[in-house]
Amino acid sequence: MNLWPYAFFAIASAFSGWGWWRSRVRATEIRRIAELDRFHYLSEVLPRSLSLRDLPLSPIPSGWNAIDCERRGRLVVAFDCRFGEGNGSWSRTVIAVQADRADIPASSFDPDVQTDQIADWAFLYGHSRVTLNEKVVKTVQTHA
């Protein structure tokens, strides 16, 4: 009897379960931050005024773990998303502030954070997933 198919299935199931578990933990962390800092948890719904089509990177088909709030009259939205398609895709956290990008010091997050301006939104994202912790949230709230 050949056990390789069963071993392959067990390994694939373990990786799938691990990925599902990580996504649940991430969603729980985002909800906790939203509650602590008076953000609204939006799940997979992004504000209509936030257009992802014109970002200079690969198309972003959707976002998840989205949170938003209004500070000093400006809307702040943070969400996880996937840039690109297939094997060339990668996950990132994007922070969007309805403001001019000159008003948002990206170096407050990380010197490698890239900013783009599309219409009246400033988008901040880096080469890796941003850990949305209290420090990042406070910096956005302070400068937004």
Q: What pLDDT band is residue 96 in, cutting at 50, 70 and 90?
A: confident
Rounded mean pLDDT of 16-38?
Answer: 87
The mean predicted confidence, pLDDT, of the chain is 79
Confidence of residue 14 (pLDDT cuts 50, 70, 90): very high
Specify the DSSP class assigned to residue 63: E
Task: Please give the residue range of the domain that contains residue 77.
Answer: 4-143
pLDDT of 49-85, one tens digit each?
A: 887 777 766 667 778 889 999 887 888 898 888 877 7
Left (φ > 0), alpha (ψ -120 to 50) or beta: where does 73 sit?
Answer: left
Residue 135 has pLDDT above 70, yes or no: no
For the chain, what is the domain count? 1
Separation between Cα atoms, residue 25 and residue 122, nearest integer Å:
28
- Torsion angles phi and psi, residue 6, rounded to 5: -70, -40
d(CA 19, CA 30): 17
Predicted TM-score of the model (pTM): 0.74
Structure confidence at residue 129 (pLDDT): 57
Residues 99-127 have a mean pLDDT of 76
Q: Which helix (H) or strand (E) holds 79?
A: strand 74-83
